[in-house]
Amino acid sequence: MKANQLIQKYASHQLITKKIDMPAGYLDDSHSHPWHQIVFPLTGLLQSNMGHKRAIVPHNALLFIPANTVHKSVAVTDTQFFAIYLNPNALIHYGDTPKSCLVTAFLKELLLLLFDKRTAHQSEASIAHLLAVLNDQIETAEHYEIPLLIPEDRRLMAIFNQLRQQPDLKFTLKDWAEKVGASERTLSRLCAKEFNLSFSLWRQNIRLVLSLQLLDTGMAIQEIAVELGYASDSAYIHAFKGMFDQTPSRYRHSRLLYSLSADQKLTQSETNV
């Protein structure tokens, strides 16, 4: 059942949850919900547009979307995420500004608890207390901004789609220009317009953001560097540190590893109402 149908059906509830799978490239086109929404990826990457605000959301972050905000999302890679819909008519006063933020260990446990179907059977007062803590955590959480990847221009999109599949491609700007039928100058201008970046920096950002998924696997840093097309693991580490202000190893251990206890809490049901 679609989210707005669930909201209409369970209009008296304080929250509704839903697990959603989106294959790479899937577009959930412009829409809105009468309730607030939290998007919390378990795996993969989403790029979401909310008016003039756009955000990349990996699975160590969440996105808060206020009620009635028109938004659309594209799956950068195969993505599974929890969606939590929050009743604006409940006692909790949620914010009215979209926000992408880091998910701390505590916040992650809280989100998983809210998604646990057993929580739905608790008293209204108990659920309200949990939601008050959730709201406080989101309000005080650190903002998390990752450079955007997915372009609007069809020529850049063709390049993005190929780099998503083969991030180690060694094509030069001239090679790409010939491949997509545009001049080098045009591609450079388009990157500057859409991302305020040079073509080479945009391509590097694609590689680095895609590496977030690889860091959640057992691959060694050196293997990840090769997979992405870097000449050495030191070159990858240097570039990663420049974007995320920490090494890939530190990022892996501090942000991306899910504890066994958290994994055990994942519900197998699609919705919790």
Mean pLDDT of 155-167: 94
CA distance 163 to 143: 28
- The radius of gyration of the chain from alpha carbons, rounded to an integer in Å, stands at 20
Range name among 57-61, 73-77, 187-191, 230-234 with the lowest pLDDT average: 57-61
pLDDT the model gives residue 102: 85
Q: What does 170-219 look like in DSSP terms, one character per residue?
A: ---HHHHHHHHT--HHHHHHHHHHHHSS-HHHHHHHHHHHHHHHHTTSS-
- Cβ atoms of 85 and 36 within 8 Å: the answer is yes
Packing angle of the helix pair 124-140, 105-115 (nearest 10 deg): 150
Question: Tell me: the pLDDT tens digits for 195-223?
Answer: 999 999 999 999 999 998 888 888 999 99
18 falls in which pLDDT band (50, 70, 90)? very high
- 244-249: list long-range contacts, CB under 8 Å, 24+ apart: 244/208, 248/211, 248/215, 248/221, 248/224, 249/221
Burial bucket for residue 133 (CB in 10 Å: 0-12, 13-18, 19+):
middle
pTM: 0.80
pLDDT the model gives residue 181: 95
